Structure 1
Amino acid sequence: MIRLMVWVFALWLVAAAALAHKASDSYLSLETTAAGITGRWDIALRDLDEAVGLDGDDDGTITWGELRRRAAAIQSYALARLKLESGNRPCPLEPGKIRVDHHSDGTYAVLGFAAHCAAGPERLTVEYRLLFDLDPQHRGLLRLTADGTTQTAVFAPMAARQVFEPASTPWRGFVQYVAEGVWHIWTGYDHILFLLSLLLPAVLVREAGAWRPAPRFRDALWDAVRIVTAFTLAHSLTLSLAALGYLALPSRWVEAAIAASVVAAALNNIFPLLHGRRTRLAFLFGWVHGLGFASVLLDLGLPPAVRLVGLAGFNLGVEAGQLVLVAGFLPLAYGLSRSPWYPPAVLRWGSAAIALLAGVWLVERGFDLKLLSFPS
């Protein structure tokens, strides 16, 4: 059973290796007026490069000239994957100019467009299918403004078509942001590996320089509760401060620091200098992880009241997803810790694999390199 777990964990690490960076998102803003709808669509250049090819000379850099030459292809590709309807009648889309803008995770193409709705944009249906065929984890984040009221929504492959009513309140998007928070933690491999590194030794005790199984499950559970609580308090604080605009750091620094936190937590299992202080490690590095969580809400540019609703839902989703992961992992680890193979095979070699992978992420993020690549 231990060997099977090691193999499964190794395969999971290989899959995680391809996802060293922030998940793919685009930001769609719609504003309705009596005359129709004006739109702004921010799509990451890296995503457009994969979809339509922007880097003509394959030098790893997309210039303004390359973007301008592919402007028609970008507009055709994107607008073919967005449909607006009002009163069950389509609203034809008219492309506008393409600009560039910088978000927390890189450079984005900004597509301007207009939609003409014969019935008037009162009850609006939005169908969003950008990049879902290339990246099922892609998300489209919508900000819809009508009559001074802002609504939000998250588009995913299973929620590609959504209907918006004028009377909807900002709380309409609350449930979606809860789900987005769960999805974000479950696909945030660096966050998962950090927690996993801290929890791997929770089912053990260290005496006289050696590991042995924790005598009771409640001892392991209490250790895990302290670690998860410290991590939650820290990242909830910085998530809130960053999402509300009180704290900001460059995304590259934040992502590199998150990778460094995973390296530190994993190496501490191999060289347990701070074994009794893992709760402090969880709290210290939790501050950095909260800044990573905040990027989803920051780049959408929501009004303060709507941002608070999104923040509450997103944070609740992160915590729920985190608790599900811990609840599934801890009993399994406790059962496996009864075997003499757990400390050398799972704890030591598992932590070494985590540290190696996170070390690659650290170099990639710190120096803006791509060391790991996998065929699609």
Structure 2
Amino acid sequence: MNQRCVVLLLVALFTCSSLAHELSTTFISAELRDDGSLDGQLKLDILDLKEVVTLDANANGELTWGEIEASGDALQNYVTNGLRFYTGTQQCILKLNNQLELQELNAVTYLVMSFSSPLYSSSKCAGKGQLSFEYSLLFEAAANHKAIVSLLVASEEHVFIIDNENSRNSINVELNSSSSWSTFWAFIYQGIFHILIGLDHILFLFTLLLTLCFYRHLGEWRSVESKKVIIKKTLLIVTSFTIAHSITLSGTALGIIPVMGSWIEVVIAASILFNVINNLFPMVKNLSLITFVFGLIHGMGFAGALSEFGFTEEHQLLSVLGFNLGVELGQIGLLVIFLPILLLLRESNFYRRYGMQLLSLLIGVVAIYWILERW
């Protein structure tokens, strides 16, 4: 029973980290200009893409940049067959830019491709009424794949989330119509997506939760008998983290707090290591205080991710609110997984004597690796 509890906790952590692939997401941004030309950018998860397009030409299991560049024609065919824009019944013929690049977003590597619809009378997107599009990429590579599509038409931004159920049906965009609700929902999804693939944020909260079912007495860990006490301590930690990261996320995204450099990612990794050390050699008993201080730093990291996704000034406030709400929903999902297991662990002598310390040490090794990698 004791060992089983620890195994359950490890499985729960592995499940959360594996959500990165299950939450496969494509990002598409496009602008329909007044002259009828369409310009945009497409970001595809490279790991998903290699499942549906032969990128590894020599099949040695190692994908090189030369192999990606050599696959230009295959990529052109795949994308133009799976992404189509129309005005009425007229299709806007897309042409991919030959210049490809890789971009790292939240520990996921994306292949970035620019596309445009040339200014020919037979292919441009000029017209009145409706602009529609169809998307059917990468669904065969990831069952839960989604695409976030941002269309800028006549200074109005339209944001949509496309999944496997509506991918093959044209989604019509009434020109000059508002899309505030779809934008808000899209950024909620982005917030959930970010927290669930952000293993560093997960491990920060996880290390704080590891000791919640215990208290220190005469230099030893002892079990907390009351479930209410454990739940109360959990809510205090989560509330502190929510308030702190909401302050810096909103402030940075809205331009009130200056954008910090890459050192933020180093400090986020260091915050995990601090929690590990505090678990092994308790120094700070008020965990909600630790959570608040480092939560301010994590909020700046969230703001960096939000800025990489991009949002227009028109929907700036909605985008920030939606993203922040998505982060909170993601945290609640993690608690639903972890809290029942932690309540079981308070009865485990094995976890109290060895399990918590072992898990903390393993996470500490990961945190040190991240610090050195991000330095």
1:54 positional shift: 8.2
Answer yes or no: is the 8 Å Cα contact 2:36–2:126 preserved in 1: no
What letter matches 2:83 in structure 1?
L
The verdict on how the C-alpha distance between 1:181 and 1:223 changes in structure 2, with shifts beyond 3 A counting, is same
Partner of residue 7, structure 1: 7
TM-score normalised by the chain length of structure 2: 0.79
Cα 1:84/1:238, change in 2 over 3 Å? same
Which residue does 1:258 correspond to in 2? 268
3-state SS of paired residue (1:313): helix
Question: Are the equivalent residues in 2 in contact too, given 1:20–1:361 (CA < 8 A)?
Answer: no
Q: Which amino acid aligns with 1:114?
A: S
Query: Where does residue 158 of structure 2 map in the other structure?
Result: 151
Q: Match of 1:249? A: 260
Letter of the structure 2 residue corresponding to residue 31 of structure 1: E
Contact 1:266/1:354 (8 A) holds in 2: yes
The residue that corresponds to 1:366 in the other structure is 374
- Where 2:157 maps in the other structure, the secondary structure is strand
The answer for unaligned runs of 5 or more in structure 2 is: none
- Residues 3 and 68 from structure 1, CA distance in 2 versus in 1: closer, same or farther, beyond 3 angstroms? closer
Shift of 1:130: 3.5
Deviation string 1:56-110 (CA, Å, 9 cap, x unpaired) is: 99998747xx7665443332332222122444x3624230534467867488634
What is the aligned counterpart of 1:338 among 340, 343, 347?
347
Does 2:131 align with 1:124? yes
- State the 1:231 CA deviation: 1.0
Relative to 1, partners in 2 of residues 1:20 and 1:336: Cα closer, same or farther, differing over 3 Å? same
Confirm or deny: 8 A CA contact 2:56 2:63 kept in the other structure: no
What is the Cα deviation at residue 26 of structure 1? 4.6
Aligned to 1:370: none
Counterparts of 1:127 and 1:238, CA distance in 2: 37
2:280: which partner in 1? 270
* Aligned-pair identity (%): 29
Whether the aligned pair in 1 keeps the contact of 2:9 and 2:338 (CA below 8 Å) is no
In the TM superposition, what is the alpha-carbon distance from 1:283 to its structure 2 partner? 1.7
Closer, same or farther: CA 128–346 of 1 in aligned 2, 3 Å: farther
- 3-state SS in 2 of match to 1:31: strand
1:207 CA displacement = 0.9
2:313 partner letter: P
Q: 1:45 to 1:8 in 2, by over 3 A?
A: closer
Find the partner of 2:116 among 99, 110, 113: 113
Cα deviation, residue 309, structure 1: 0.9
Instruction: Kindly state the Cα deviation for residue 52 of structure 1 after the two structures are TM-superposed.
Output: 5.0
SS in 1 for 2:84: strand
Counterpart residue type for residue 76 of structure 1: N
- For residues 314 and 292 of structure 1, do their structure 2 counterparts lie closer, same or farther at Cα, with a shift above 3 Å needed? same
1:284 aligns with 2:293: yes
The corresponding residue for 1:374 is none
Matched, 1:312 2:314: no
Matched to 1:111, the amino acid is S
Partner of 1:181: 191
2:250 equivalent to 1:231: no
Within the candidate set 336, 352, 366, 2:361 is matched to 352
The match for 1:372 is none
Instruction: Provide the aligned length of Structure 1 versus Structure 2.
Output: 360
Output the CA distance in 2 between the equivalents of 1:5 and 1:337.
10
Q: 1:248 to 1:78 in 2, by over 3 A?
A: farther
TM-score between the two structures when normalised by the length of structure 1: 0.79
Give the counterpart of 1:190 among 192, 200, 204: 200
**SS at structure 2 position matched to 1:308:** helix
- Is the alpha carbon distance of 1:326 and 1:20 closer, same or farther for their aligned partners in structure 2, counting shifts above 3 Å? closer
Deviations 1:24-71 (A, max 9, x none): 6554222235654512114369569845538999998747xx766544
